[in-house]
């Protein structure tokens, strides 16, 4: 019986010198869900992502990913590329990180590096163009074509990624992450800079990923249109702490969340000041 | 319209002001250096004023700075003009290719008639242009290379230069893997060349194995050194990587100088076994190449063989690089050049990727080194100094990082011009420097800076340089 939670954070703490960026954070993301991580600027959302994907090594705490097959991985000690390679956690970046001088198709081929590397006999068979590798490469192109179609980029497949418009670059980054066949896809502000129409299209794409693949999604997002519409569950961070967690309905009406985002009323400040004796 | 005409005088005044400042600085610098000559003819040291020389120096700086300023502020216009000029010359050449061809043929015939001794050169020029017009640049160069020894059989000097050029083409292609594809700036590439040369020389002398056994061994040794260098420098990027590779190149040279028991130190290693024609030596006796195949003995046989040997080695380097670019490892190199963090997020091991680039680049450097050793018959640490590394790097950068044909052209132009300007001994480096500055201004990404995609869905579109990253280390 596979574990129900694809991702489980337990007591995650990240300290940069004197700054406590994440303070004893625990939450779970269910398999097949879209889980959103929200919070005001500087709440530590991207830091959580960097810990999950291994770009940071957390100060303490545990991060586990449970595969559907029953395998379970402790992520906190794995380096970044091994998390992507073995645990199949893929991510996108807040400031898009494509390979701008390579075509959209090439970007998606790079994402399938490990599969192709095995098929090419670690380059040796591939060098002599053995049929096994050629077949693997055709399959890789097919997978890339599938995701190009899903992200409406087929017409731009042979253009350099750096020449694509902003919205297309965002979609291409998601397509590239999907080409690694991830069990968990971490999206860092995928709707940032998108216009309303594009962010609606993003919703459709993310729903399709949820429905048609075995990939669970964890996303950081400021665009409430996206967050409220597609998330199954929302975790709210503020100053590195979890302040709330629940369904979109619940979060929308949680006074703690509203206070964190909008600040508190004047009299609440007065009450707090009275409490500490100021 | 009005804005530009209004801005014009200010550009000139600005340039004038700029030139004035430069003039003052030049005066300050030169007033003691050039303005006075320490003269002690009468046993008494006294300064002799040289106002004319001083004025000339300051004047040159003033005028030069004024022109540079003027051109700099109109750089966009100037570049456009020159770019247009280049494109239109190319277009014209294409349009009138038959006329051009006829003119060339006529010229060649005239040349042959008036100086029969030089006919191969003229023929080669005609052949080159013929091929270039009808087949394109790459097949033209290839055909030229294959035909070269036949045309210049009687001219060992040209053959020798061609062999040197091809060695640099191969070195350029080898370094292109590291610098052009993986984006790792390597200033010590000559170290691998040295390792290849020395391992060939030492193994061939100590064990008496043939060239064809020692060649792969030399390549393997160099690759091993590539990995050895790769490990400590993997964490470094950009300038830091460049410095450490530079140091590595020097370390190898200094070790070669001082490990006298193995390398014979500064005296070098002499009488290195010559390459044989698959076991048949190029000697005048009965077992020699000429006697075996029924030719008259001629020392040029060996030179021609060496020419085809280095041509084959260079083409193998090229073929492997082209193949590797279309394999996952090559794509990972290029992706690494574009964005290392994204590479890691896709589950690609950056360490292994960099190491393979270093190792394969070094291996080809080692092959070239082994060839160098067998051709020269003598090697010493003097052949593997930093300027050598700089030259190979310059070939890669000027040719266009990542472009195979660009690197080949750059190698030909640079090495050949070194020979061409041999008469101007002292000014060679000046000319070289000017050419470099010129290319960096007008074609900052090298002669051929666009990139061919490794795979395509519908059509292969060339990627212009503006999108391609140079790599950060």
Whether the CB-CB separation of A79 and A54 falls below 8 Å is answered with yes
Instruction: Measure CB to CB from residue B346 to each of A84, A123, A162 and give the nearest one.
Output: A84
**Both structure tokens of A193:** 């800079």
In a domain, B355, yes or no: yes
**Both structure tokens of B276:** 């044989």
Scanning B154-278, the segments in alpha helix (DSSP H) are 156-176, 190-207, 211-233, 238-258, 260-263
Residues 6+ apart with CB under 8 A from B127: B143, B144, B147
Residues 6+ apart with CB under 8 A from B469: A99, A100, A101, B183, B337, B338, B339
Residues of A in contact with B464 (CB under 8 A): 160
**For residue B5, is pLDDT > 70?**
no
**For residue B402, is pLDDT > 80?**
no
Q: Does the beta-carbon distance from A105 to B455 stay under 8 Å?
A: yes
Q: Does the beta-carbon distance from B347 to A159 stay under 8 Å?
A: no
Look at residue B460 in the predicted model and tell me its pLDDT.
74
**Both structure tokens of A187:** 């999206």
Whether the CB-CB separation of A137 and A194 falls below 8 Å is answered with no
Separation of alpha carbons B347 and A79, rounded Å? 10
- pLDDT tens-digit series, residues B261-289: 888 888 888 877 877 777 677 777 777 77
**For residue B124, is pLDDT > 70?**
no
In a domain, B346, yes or no: yes
Same domain, A69 and A105: no
Domain extent, residue A120, equals 99-181
Same domain, B37 and B90: no
DSSP per residue over B287-304, as a string?
TSHHHHTTPPP-THHHHH
Look at residue A276 in the predicted model and tell me its pLDDT.
61
Same domain, B167 and B310: yes
**Partner B contacted by A159 (CB < 8 A):** yes
Confidence of residue B82 (pLDDT cuts 50, 70, 90): low
Q: Does the beta-carbon distance from A90 to B345 stay under 8 Å?
A: yes
Same domain, A57 and A195: yes
Domain extent, residue B128, equals 86-135
**For residue B21, is pLDDT > 70?**
yes
In a domain, B140, yes or no: no
Q: Does the beta-carbon distance from B334 to A91 stay under 8 Å?
A: no
**Partner B contacted by A165 (CB < 8 A):** no
**For residue B458, is pLDDT > 60?**
yes
Confidence of residue B6 (pLDDT cuts 50, 70, 90): very low
* ipTM of the shown complex: 0.85
> How is residue B410 annotated by DSSP?
H
Question: How many Å lie between the alpha carbon of B471 and the closest alpha carbon of chain A?
Answer: 11
Q: Does the beta-carbon distance from B323 to A85 stay under 8 Å?
A: no
Whether the CB-CB separation of A238 and A40 falls below 8 Å is answered with yes
In a domain, A94, yes or no: no
Q: Which 3 state secondary structure label does DSSP give A231?
A: coil
Q: Of A181, A215, A235, which residue is a domain's last?
A: A181
Same domain, A66 and A196: yes
Same domain, B56 and B183: no
Q: Does the beta-carbon distance from B328 to A116 stay under 8 Å?
A: yes
**Partner B contacted by A152 (CB < 8 A):** no
Q: Of A128, A154, A181, which residue is a domain's last?
A: A181
Interface of B with A (CB under 8 A): 320, 323-324, 327-329, 331-332, 334-335, 337-339, 341-350, 356, 451, 453-461, 463-464, 466-469
Separation of alpha carbons B94 and B87, rounded Å? 11
Separation of alpha carbons A254 and A248, rounded Å? 10
In a domain, A168, yes or no: yes
CATH code of the domain in which A64 resides: 3.40.50.300
Separation of alpha carbons A16 and A23, rounded Å? 12
Residues 6+ apart with CB under 8 A from B146: B311
Nearest CA among B383, B185, B164 for reference residue B269: B383
In a domain, A47, yes or no: yes
Q: Does the beta-carbon distance from A126 to B323 stay under 8 Å?
A: yes
Same domain, A206 and A236: yes
In a domain, B144, yes or no: no
Residues of B in contact with A87 (CB under 8 A): none
Same domain, A166 and A190: no
Comparison of pLDDT for B441 and B374, the residue scoring more:
B374
Q: Does the beta-carbon distance from B335 to A110 stay under 8 Å?
A: yes
Look at residue B191 in the predicted model and tell me its pLDDT.
92
Question: How many Å lie between the alpha carbon of A152 and the closest alpha carbon of chain B?
Answer: 14
- Please tell me the total count of domains within chain B: 3
Same domain, B383 and B271: yes
Question: How many Å lie between the alpha carbon of B307 and the closest alpha carbon of chain A?
Answer: 26
**Partner B contacted by A42 (CB < 8 A):** no
In a domain, B447, yes or no: yes
Look at residue B7 in the predicted model and tell me its pLDDT.
47
Look at residue B4 in the predicted model and tell me its pLDDT.
44
**For residue B185, is pLDDT > 80?**
yes
Same domain, B225 and B313: yes
In a domain, B406, yes or no: yes
Separation of alpha carbons B225 and B196, rounded Å? 10
Instruction: Measure CB to CB from residue B467 to each of A100, A116, A133 and give the nearest one.
Output: A100
In a domain, B66, yes or no: yes
Same domain, B96 and B194: no
Same domain, A252 and A171: no
Same domain, A239 and A157: no
Most confident among B91-100, B103-112, B182-191, B361-370 (mean pLDDT): B361-370
pLDDT one digit per residue (tens) for chain A, 278 residues:
345 888 888 888 888 888 888 888 888 888 888 888 888 888 888 888 888 888 888 888 888 888 888 788 887 888 888 877 888 888 899 888 999 888 899 999 999 888 888 777 676 766 776 777 888 888 889 899 999 988 888 888 888 888 888 888 998 999 999 998 898 899 988 888 888 888 888 888 888 888 888 888 999 888 787 888 888 888 888 888 888 888 888 888 888 888 877 766 656 656 656 666 54
Look at residue B317 in the predicted model and tell me its pLDDT.
92
Comparison of pLDDT for B175 and A261, the residue scoring more:
B175
Separation of alpha carbons A101 and A71, rounded Å? 38
Question: How many Å lie between the alpha carbon of A22 and the closest alpha carbon of chain B?
Answer: 22
Look at residue A1 in the predicted model and tell me its pLDDT.
39
Nearest CA among A228, A74, A218, A123 for reference residue B329: A123
Same domain, A60 and A73: yes
Same domain, B131 and B47: no
Same domain, B17 and B165: no
Q: Does the beta-carbon distance from A141 to B461 stay under 8 Å?
A: no
Look at residue A2 in the predicted model and tell me its pLDDT.
46
Same domain, A271 and A186: yes
Look at residue B171 in the predicted model and tell me its pLDDT.
94
Same domain, B65 and B112: no
Same domain, B319 and B235: yes
- pLDDT tens-digit series, residues B419-451: 777 777 677 777 777 777 877 777 777 777 777
Look at residue A174 in the predicted model and tell me its pLDDT.
92
Q: Of A181, A200, A217, which residue is a domain's last?
A: A181
- pLDDT tens-digit series, residues B305-329: 889 989 999 999 999 998 888 888 8
Q: Which of A22-26, B180-184, B323-327, B398-402 has the lowest mean pLDDT?
A: B398-402
Q: Does the beta-carbon distance from B341 to A97 stay under 8 Å?
A: yes
Same domain, A39 and A56: yes
Same domain, B161 and B128: no
Comparison of pLDDT for B193 and B75, the residue scoring more:
B193
- Please tell me the total count of domains within chain A: 2
Same domain, B161 and B103: no
Residues 6+ apart with CB under 8 A from B53: B34, B35
Q: Between the CA of residue A128 and those of A11, B322, B340, what are the distances in Å?
A: 51, 12, 28
Same domain, A71 and A197: yes
């Amino acid at each position: 019986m596979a574990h129900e939670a694809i991702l489980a954070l337990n007591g995650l703490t990240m300290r940069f010198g004197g700054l406590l960026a994440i303070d004893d954070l625990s939450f779970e993301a269910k398999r097949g869900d879209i889980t959103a991580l929200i919070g005001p600027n500087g709440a530590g959302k991207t830091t959580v992502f960097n810990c999950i994907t291994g770009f940071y090594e957390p100060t303490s705490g545990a991060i586990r990913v449970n595969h559907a097959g029953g395998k379970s991985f402790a992520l906190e000690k794995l380096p970044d590329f091994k998390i992507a390679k073995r645990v199949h956690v893929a991510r996108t970046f807040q400031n898009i990180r494509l390979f701008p001088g390579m075509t959209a198709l090439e970007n998606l081929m790079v994402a399938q590096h490990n599969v192709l590397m095995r098929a090419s006999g670690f380059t040796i068979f591939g060098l002599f163009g053995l049929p096994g590798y050629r077949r693997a490469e055709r399959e890789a192109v097919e997978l890339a074509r599938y995701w190009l179609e899903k992200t409406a980029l087929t017409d731009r497949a042979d253009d350099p990624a750096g020449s694509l418009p902003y919205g297309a670059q965002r979609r291409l980054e998601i397509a590239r992450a999907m080409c690694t066949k991830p069990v968990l896809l971490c999206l860092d502000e995928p709707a940032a800079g998108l216009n309303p129409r594009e962010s609606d299209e993003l919703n459709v794409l993310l729903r399709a990923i949820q429905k048609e693949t075995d990939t669970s999604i964890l996303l950081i997002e400021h665009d409430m249109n996206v967050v409220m519409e597609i998330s199954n569950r929302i975790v709210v961070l503020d100053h590195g702490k979890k302040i709330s967690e629940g369904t979109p309905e619940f979060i929308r009406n949680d006074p703690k969340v509203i206070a964190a985002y909008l600040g508190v009323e004047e009299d609440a400040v007065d009450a707090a000041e009275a409490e500490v004796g100021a | 319209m009005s804005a530009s005409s209004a801005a014009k005088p200010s550009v000139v005044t600005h340039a004038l002001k700029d030139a004035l400042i430069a003039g003052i600085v030049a005066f300050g610098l030169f007033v003691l250096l050039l303005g006075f000559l320490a003269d002690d003819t009468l046993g008494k040291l006294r300064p002799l004023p040289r106002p004319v020389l001083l004025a000339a120096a300051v004047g040159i700086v003033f005028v030069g700075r004024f022109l540079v300023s003027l051109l700099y502020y109109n750089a966009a216009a100037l570049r456009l003009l020159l770019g247009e000029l280049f494109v239109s010359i190319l277009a014209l050449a294409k349009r009138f290719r038959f006329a051009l061809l006829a003119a060339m043929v006529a010229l060649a015939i005239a040349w042959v008639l008036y100086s029969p001794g030089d006919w191969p050169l003229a023929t080669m020029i005609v052949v080159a242009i013929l091929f270039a017009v009808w087949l394109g640049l790459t097949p033209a160069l290839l055909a030229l290379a294959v035909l070269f020894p036949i045309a210049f059989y009687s001219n060992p000097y040209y053959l020798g230069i061609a062999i040197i050029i091809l060695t640099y083409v191969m070195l350029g292609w080898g370094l292109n893997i590291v610098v052009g594809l993986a984006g790792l700036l390597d200033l010590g590439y000559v170290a691998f060349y040295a390792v290849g040369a020395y391992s060939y020389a030492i193994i061939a002398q100590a064990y008496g194995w043939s060239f064809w056994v020692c060649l792969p061994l030399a390549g393997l040794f160099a690759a091993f050194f590539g990995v050895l260098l790769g490990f400590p420098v993997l964490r470094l990027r950009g300038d830091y990587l460049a410095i450490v590779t530079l140091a590595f190149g020097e370390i190898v040279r200094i070790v070669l100088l001082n490990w006298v028991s193995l390398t014979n130190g500064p005296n070098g290693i002499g009488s290195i076994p010559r390459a044989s024609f698959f076991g048949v030596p190029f000697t005048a006796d009965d077992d020699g190449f000429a006697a075996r195949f029924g030719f008259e003995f001629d020392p040029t046989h060996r030179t021609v063989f060496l020419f085809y040997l280095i041509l084959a080695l260079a083409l193998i380097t090229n073929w492997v690089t082209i193949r590797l670019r279309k394999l996952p490892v090559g794509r990972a190199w290029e992706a690494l050049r574009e964005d290392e963090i994204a590479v890691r997020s896709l589950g690609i091991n950056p360490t292994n990727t960099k190491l393979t680039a270093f190792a394969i680049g070094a291996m080809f450097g080692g092959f070239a080194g082994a060839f160098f050793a067998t051709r020269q018959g003598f090697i010493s640490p003097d052949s593997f100094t930093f300027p050598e590394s700089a030259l190979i790097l310059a070939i890669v950068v000027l040719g266009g990082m990542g472009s195979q044909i660009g690197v080949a052209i750059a190698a030909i132009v640079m090495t050949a011009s070194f020979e061409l300007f041999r008469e101007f001994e002292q000014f060679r480096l000046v000319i070289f420097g000017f050419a470099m500055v010129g290319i960096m201004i007008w074609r900052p990404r090298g002669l051929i800076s666009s990139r061919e995609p490794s795979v395509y869905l519908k059509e292969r579109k060339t990627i212009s340089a503006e999108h391609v990253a140079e790599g950060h280390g």
